Amino acid sequence: MEVLDLELQTLVEQVSLEDFGLAFEHQAVWNNRLRTTGGLFYPMDCHLAFNPLMYQRLTSIQFRQIIRHELCHYHLFRQKKGYQHRDRDFKNLLAKVDGLRYSPKVMSKKYRIYQCQKCGQEFKRVRQIDTKRFRCGRCSGKLIYQTTRYM
Ligand SMILES: [Zn+2]
Ligand SMILES: [Zn+2]
């Protein structure tokens, strides 16, 4: 599902003007189905789609680099230059604006952090654990769920 968002639209327009000196004149939307891809460019109607998970989990600088990457496709396509990854034009422009070459892989894995109430030892687990049954391996203290992070 694609979701229009004024904030995203404004951000993309801003990055386009500031980093490319060119206006972004189409739509930028969130796409909840994207998993490992940061964003997508659609040559059919020139809209851009972005992965909301990347926005949540990356720093604003990294997300801006993803926007730059998609804008490289966008502006080169409109200028009728080589807008695909393998094209020299694309590589040059991406390097010039400091865009992200590949989507970061960090997003895919999620893990939970538990902490021992007694000795303070932290445990990272990909799977959820039953804190009633499992105890700290060092002191057999009670484990408490802390937070969920992404690798
Ligand atoms: Zn791309
Ligand atoms: Zn412990």
DSSP string, 12-57: HHHHIIIIISS---S-EEEETT-SS-SEEEETTTTEEEE-HHHHHH
Assess whether 70 carries a catalytic annotation: yes
Q: Is 11 helix (H, G, I), strand (E, B) or coil?
A: helix
Exactly one of 2, 7, 13, 70 is catalytic; name it.
70
**Closest ligand to residue 115's CA:** 2
For the chain, 151 residues long, give each residue's pLDDT as a single digit of tens.
788 889 999 999 999 999 999 999 999 999 988 878 899 999 999 999 999 988 888 889 999 999 999 999 999 999 999 999 999 999 999 999 998 887 665 455 678 899 999 999 999 888 888 888 899 989 999 999 998 876 5
Measure 10 CA to ligand 2 centroid, in angstroms.
48
Measure 129 CA to ligand 1 centroid, in angstroms.
38
Confidence (pTM): 0.70
Q: What is the pLDDT of residue 2?
A: 82
133: CB partners within 8 A, 6+ apart = none
Measure 134 CA to ligand 1 centroid, in angstroms.
44
Enumerate residues with CB within 5 Å of ligand 2 (an ion). Answer: 116, 118-119, 121, 136, 138-139, 141
Query: Which residue from 11, 77, 1, 65 is spatially nearest to 39, judged by alpha carbons?
Result: 65
Q: What is the pLDDT of residue 104?
A: 63
| Inter-helix orientation angle 6-15/60-78, to 10° | 70
Measure 117 CA to ligand 2 centroid, in angstroms.
7
